[in-house]
Amino acid sequence: VIGVVIGKTDVRGFPDRKNIGSERFTFSFTIRDSPSYFVNVSSWGREGYIRTLSESFRVGDCVTIENPLVQSKEMEREEKFSPVTPSCYKLLLSENHSVVKTSSCYEMDTALLSLLHLPVKDPQDYYSLGDIVANGQSLNGRILNVLAAVMSVS
């Protein structure tokens, strides 16, 4: 799978239920290879492997993923912790079997760079800040998608 990284989480550690007293580490990222398709990728493993893998690329880099495990998404669980994707699958990276190679999008395909700036939600599925202010009470308790741009940082 070849795509541009459009999102990435920080590395997190969790107690390993199988090996009491030790930790397993994880991080995930989302790659996109076309305007309509993007998929979440997760990796679990030893701290050294996960940290090295996470530090090997950043958002905006193009990656080639070789030999991932393709799994069906568990809709209820998956969507809580990762971006909602149009695919009913996710990719899982394994230290022993999977490889992630990073390269410049210019070397791969400059069309991938344009995918960084496309929203991942349907353009009709956003609320403007004005709509939220005007209809605040009726929107109370609902989950909303907001599309915004940063005008300045100071």
What confidence category does residue 97 fall into, taking pLDDT thresholds of 50, 70 and 90?
A: very high
Residue 51's Cβ-side half-sphere holds a number of Cα atoms within 13 Å equal to 5
Rounded average pLDDT over 50-59? 94
Q: Helix, strand or coil for residue 150?
A: coil
Asked if the model's pLDDT at residue 87 lies above 80, the reply is yes
CA dihedral sign, ordered 22, 69, 34, 57: positive
For residues 88 and 118, give the distance between their C-alpha atoms in angstroms, rounded to a whole number: 20
How far apart CA 124 and CA 146 sit, in angstroms, is: 11
Q: What is the pTM of this model?
A: 0.77
Strands (E), 73-152: 89-93, 99-103
- Stretch 71-81: mean pLDDT: 71
Kindly give the residue spans of alpha helices, DSSP state H, lying in the chain. Answer: 47-55, 75-81, 105-108, 110-114, 129-134
Q: What percent of the chain has pLDDT over 90?
A: 35
CATH of domain 2-115: 2.40.50.140
| HSE-up (13 A, CA, CB side) for residue 56 | 17
The helix/strand/coil state of 133 is helix
The larger pLDDT score, comparing residue 22 to residue 39, is at 39
